[in-house]
């Protein structure tokens, strides 16, 4: 019987030295695995939610397109079965599509709270950051690797959602006749969800790095998102000087609401009072003049009253943004949000670099 001879242990290299089995991407692969382990539930939940929303919106768009074709590619007339199906309250595709577009409008806040904030704030809370930085990966490399992994996932997810919501908004415009320049239809088209989602992911990471607590940083993201959204909705109509002047009732132009954003306009008529109605030569019309041209105007049905205004070539003052400016407004708002994201990333880099230097 031959005695068992123990095998000699492999020579240990100096601490921190790269072994022959370490490939050039070993460090990044390790970071990818750690990132997946730390954020897998948020990533999987985001993917499932995005898949459900995308499938639902594509189904609604196909359903409305089918009804639109049945109406010969025009607005379905009132009283038709197609109009009744489209306009059904709560269950009709138009009502459901409006609610889904509104939900997508607030998804960037969830991205910032559940994907952006925990990236650094959870490490600070659990006191694992210095341990991670004490390995063979520098703090800055660790940061950019995790930002690339999770940020790339966010960008891909929001790009798919942006394309879907843009398609749904255009279909909704066709079947409903509503303008693409207002509300969720404006903010969910033109790839704006992609720019806003990426920006609030970066802002969430920055707030998490600055506050170092998950819950307070998440609340800061929510407050900042709502405040900025309300500011954008309030100010964006005047980002570019609007077109203004006197426009004849019934003439092609801003009195046709298709994809125009009306800022000022509309007439007000009451007993003894007329506002924003002008005659064909541009002089303000008083109540007596309106009564002479259109007797009992305030008692007339809307269509009849409007026909009278058109017949006498009356005018109204309007300020509006034409629909042709929608791509320009999308570019301006997306640039603003991406600028916010760039500032947030710069702040994160400075915070991590300073923390890394002090830790070392």
Asked if 317 and 244 count as a contact pair (C-beta separation under 8 A), the reply is yes
* d(C-alpha 177, C-alpha 160), whole Å: 25
Say yes or no to pLDDT of 133 above 70: no
pLDDT for the residue numbered 13:
41
Q: Any idea which residue has 């998102």 for tokens?
A: 225
HSE (CB half, 13 Å, CA atoms) of 92?
16
Asked if 142 and 355 count as a contact pair (C-beta separation under 8 A), the reply is no
Residue 340 in tokens? 């916010």
Grouping H, G, I as helix, E, B as strand and the rest as coil, residue 316 is strand
Quick one: average pLDDT of 222-234? Answer: 96
Percentage of the chain beyond pLDDT 90 is: 53
Q: What share of the chain is helix, strand, coil (3-state, %, to 5)?
A: 65, 5, 30
pLDDT for the residue numbered 270:
86
* d(C-alpha 239, C-alpha 257), whole Å: 20
Pairing of β 268-270 and β 273-275: antiparallel
Residue (of 228, 249, 247, 250) closest to 336 by Cα position? 228
Q: Which of 81-85, 197-201, 252-256 has the lowest mean pLDDT?
A: 252-256
Q: Which of 208-212, 248-252, 309-313 has the lowest mean pLDDT?
A: 248-252
Residues in a beta bridge with 299: none
Say yes or no to pLDDT of 169 above 60: yes
Model confidence at 7, in pLDDT bands (50, 70, 90)? very low
Percentage of the chain beyond pLDDT 70 is: 86
Q: Any idea which residue has 């059904």 for tokens?
A: 88
Query: Could you state, in order of their start, the residue ranges of all structural domains in the chain?
Result: 38-241+324-359, 243-322
Say yes or no to pLDDT of 160 above 90: yes
DSSP 182-249: SHHHHHTSTTHHHHHHHHHHHHHHHHHHHH--HHHHHHHHHHHHHHHHHHHHHHGGGSSPPEEEEEET
Say yes or no to pLDDT of 272 above 90: no
Say yes or no to pLDDT of 226 above 70: yes
Q: Output the average pLDDT for the chain.
A: 85
* d(C-alpha 93, C-alpha 101), whole Å: 12
Say yes or no to pLDDT of 191 above 50: yes
Q: Which of 19-33, 155-169, 195-209 has the lowest mean pLDDT?
A: 19-33
pLDDT for the residue numbered 17:
40
DSSP 232-300: HHHHGGGSSPPEEEEEETTSSSTTS-TT-EEEE---EEETTEEES-B-TTSPBP-HHHHHHHSTTGGGS
Q: In what order do the strands lie in the sheet with 243-248?
A: 243-248, 315-321, 261-264
Could you tell me the pTM of the whole model? 0.82
Residues in a beta bridge with 273: 270
Quick one: average pLDDT of 212-228? Answer: 96
Quick one: average pLDDT of 285-308? Answer: 89
Grouping H, G, I as helix, E, B as strand and the rest as coil, residue 326 is helix
What residues have CB less than 8 Å from 187, skipping those under 6 apart? 105, 193, 196, 232, 233
* d(C-alpha 210, C-alpha 346), whole Å: 12
Residue (of 211, 228, 223, 242) closest to 328 by Cα position? 242
pLDDT per residue over 25-76, tens digit each? 446 677 788 788 888 899 999 999 999 999 999 999 999 999 999 998 888 8
């Amino acid at each position: 019987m031959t005695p068992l001879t123990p095998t000699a242990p492999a020579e240990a290299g100096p601490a921190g030295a790269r072994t022959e089995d370490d490939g050039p991407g070993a460090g990044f692969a390790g970071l990818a695995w750690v990132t997946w382990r730390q954020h897998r539930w948020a990533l999987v939940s985001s993917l499932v939610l995005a898949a459900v929303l995308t499938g639902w919106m594509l189904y609604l768009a196909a359903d409305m397109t089918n009804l639109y074709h049945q109406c010969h590619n025009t607005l379905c007339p009132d009283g038709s079965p197609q109009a009744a199906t489209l306009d059904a309250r709560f269950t009709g595709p138009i009502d459901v599509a409006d609610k889904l577009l509104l939900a997508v409008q607030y998804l960037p806040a969830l991205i910032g709270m559940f994907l952006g904030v925990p990236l650094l704030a959870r490490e600070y809370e659990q006191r694992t950051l210095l341990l991670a930085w004490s390995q063979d990966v520098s703090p800055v490399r660790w940061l950019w690797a995790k930002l690339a992994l999770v940020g790339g996932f966010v960008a891909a997810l929001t790009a798919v959602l942006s394309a879907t919501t843009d398609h749904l908004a255009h279909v909704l415009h066709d079947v409903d006749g509503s303008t693409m320049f207002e509300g969720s239809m404006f903010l969910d088209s033109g790839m704006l969800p992609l720019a806003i989602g990426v920006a609030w992911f970066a802002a969430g990471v920055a707030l998490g790095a600055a506050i170092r607590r998950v819950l307070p940083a998440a609340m800061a993201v929510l407050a900042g998102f709502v405040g900025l959204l309300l500011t954008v909705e309030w100010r964006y109509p005047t980002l570019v000087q609007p077109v203004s002047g006197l426009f004849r009732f019934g003439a092609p132009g801003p009195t046709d609401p298709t994809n125009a954003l009306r800022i000022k306009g509309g007439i007000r008529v009451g007993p003894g009072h007329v506002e924003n109605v002008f005659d064909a030569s541009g002089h303000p019309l008083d109540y007596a003049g309106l009564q002479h041209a259109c007797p009992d105007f305030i008692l007339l049905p809307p269509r009849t009253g409007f026909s009278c205004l058109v017949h006498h070539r009356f005018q109204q003052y309007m300020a509006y943004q034409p629909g042709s400016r929608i791509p320009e407004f999308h570019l301006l708002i997306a640039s603003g949000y991406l600028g916010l994201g760039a500032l947030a990333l710069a702040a994160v880099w400075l915070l991590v670099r300073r923390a890394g230097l002090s830790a070392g």
